[in-house]
Structure 1
Amino acid sequence: MEDRRTAWLLGLAGLLPFLLTLWLAGWGPVAWQETAVRAFLYYSAVILSFLGGTHWGAALQNPQPGHNHRLLIAMAPSLIAWPALLFSPLWGLVVLGVGFMFVWGYDLSRNGRFGWPSWYWQLRTLLTVIVVLAHVVLLTRLW
């Protein structure tokens, strides 16, 4: 129960950099807006890569015969996130947002669910919805 509470608190706290940089990028002082967009993108790439790392850890912690593909899929988020930082901010936001949806889709698959506590899916869904919506809001501000 304590792990669950801690995971929820840390997961929700992890939204703060998204929300702060989103606010600064759209409604903060003009001098900070470009930096805030970059900060949002960089944080997004870090968190997307982190999600891949969780699957890497889960695959090693709960090995299943014939499930080596989970290790390969675990690499995809960082291979999506890194190039997204090389694109324009607009396209970087699109690529990162799609990356979060890709990982969430895999998370909900039978193989992606293996090894996680049942409450984890509520947390992942809530966090993903908020993160993707933050990407959409920032996209509309930049468009």
Structure 2
Amino acid sequence: MRLNAAPRLPWMLGLAGLIPFVATAAATWLAPIAWQVVAIRAFLGYAAVILSFLGGVQWGVAMCRERPGETPFRARMLLAMVPSLLAWPALLLHPLTGAWVLVAGFVLVRFHECSRDGRTQLPDWYQSLRTLLTLVVLACHGLVIWRLAGA
């Protein structure tokens, strides 16, 4: 994984985007109990927003780089909707269940991004950056799920 291959701005923005994940995951363990509840809600809300954003990335790639009407365009446009359709309902579920749904969403997006069809039209640097970001996001989800499971 070579993060230095990514242009500096996406790298910095990607790392900055991890701050709410790390801060709220830590707060679910370290904050006073009343604030832990707030931290869990904030974590799940932010995760849903970012998961939806990842669908938007695919939508943008389809619009700018695929040929409308062709199979890759249709497939990418349809797949672009899946993250939002997972993220929003996850917020309506019990927090533990919702966190697991969000984990599934992040994993599915990453699998798509790593697939032959998913990699097409994305810059080479995107893969290494997204791998790191996804690993940190999944680790934060693990901490929150562990907390919600009663640890």
TM-score, structure 1 as length reference: 0.96
The residue aligned with 2:71 is 66
**Aligned partners of 1:47, 1:93: CA distance in 2, in Å?**
13
Which amino acid in the other structure matches residue 95 of structure 1? V
- Counting only pairs closer than 5 Å after superposition, residues 1-12 of structure 1 correspond to structure 2 as 4-12=7-15
Partner-residue secondary structure (3-state), 1:14:
helix
Write the deviation string for residues 9-48 of structure 1: whole angstroms up to 9, x where unpaired.
0000000000111111111122200010000000000000
Structure 1 residue 117 corresponds to structure 2 residue 120: no
How far is the alpha carbon of 1:66 from its aligned partner? 1.7
- Structure 2 stretches lacking a partner, 5+ long: none
Write the deviation string for residues 82-106 of structure 1: whole angstroms up to 9, x where unpaired.
0000001000100001100000000
The residue aligned with 1:13 is 16
**Aligned partners of 2:122, 2:66: CA distance in 1, in Å?**
13
Structure 1's consecutive aligned runs of 4 or more residues displaced over 6 angstroms after TM superposition are none
State how many pairs are aligned.
142
Partner-residue secondary structure (3-state), 1:115:
coil
**Aligned partners of 1:31, 1:93: CA distance in 2, in Å?**
19
How far is the alpha carbon of 1:119 from its aligned partner? 1.1
TM-score, structure 2 as length reference: 0.91
- Structure 1 stretches lacking a partner, 5+ long: none
Sequence identity, in percent? 50
Say what the alpha-carbon RMSD is for the aligned residues: 1.2
The residue aligned with 1:32 is 35
**Aligned partners of 2:108, 2:15: CA distance in 1, in Å?**
21
